[in-house]
Amino acid sequence: MKNEVTMDLAEKPASYQDIINLPENMVGEIINGHLETRPRPAPKHALAASSLGDELVSPFQKRRDGPGGWWILDEPECHLDGHILVPDIAGWRKQKLPSLPKTAWFEIAPDWVCKILSPGTMRLDRIVKMPIYAKLDVRYLWLIDPDLKTLEAYALQASNWSLIATFADNDEISIAPFTEHSFSLSVLWE
C-alpha cells in the first residue's frame, strides 16, 4: 500500500502551488506537467541577461534611438498551453500585446525569447524548451552561452527552428527581430 501511495504522488502533475512553495532563491517552471527548478542566475548569467536587456529596452521599448514597438522583460512568467515557462528575457510586439496584463503572468506567447545557457539547464533549454517554444509559435529564439561567449539566433520557419546566425566574443551584432540596432557582443561579458 505504501508503494502505491508513493507512485500516485510521483505521477501527480505539478501545480502552480508547487511553484509558489519554492524557496525565494529558486525559479520554477512546469513543463509537460513536471516541476523544473533552478537556482537564481549565477553572476555571469545575470550580467549577460541584464546587459542584453539594457541594449534592447532603450531602442525597442522606450524608442530611444530606435523604432520602439516592443515590451522587453526579464524573467516573465508565461502560462501557455499547460506549461509555465520563465524565459530569461522575452519580447512581445506591442501590436500583439498592446498593454501589459494585469495578472502576474502572461497568457500570450512572446514573439522573441532569449535563454542564457548554463551547464545545469542547457539540455532542458535545447531539447525540451526549444520545441515547446516552436509549438507556441514564438517567432525568434536566441541562445546565449556566457562561458563560450556565443549567441545563436534562430527563426521559426515551417514550425521548425532555423539557425540564422551565430556570433562570438566581441562580434558586432544586428540580428532579427532587432535588426535596427547593432552592438558589440562583448557588452554581455564585460
pLDDT single digits (tens) 14-37? 999 999 999 988 899 999 999 999
Q: SS3 of 99, please?
A: coil
DSSP 45-66: HHHHHHHHHHHHHHHHTS-SSS
> Domain extents for the chain?
40-188
Cβ proximity of 131 and 153 under 8 Å: no
The pLDDT mean for the chain works out to 92
In the predicted structure, residue 112 carries a pLDDT above the cut 50: yes
- pLDDT, position 117: 95
CATH topology of domain 40-188: tt1808, chain A (3.90.1570)
What is the pLDDT averaged over residues 150-160? 97
- pLDDT, position 45: 87
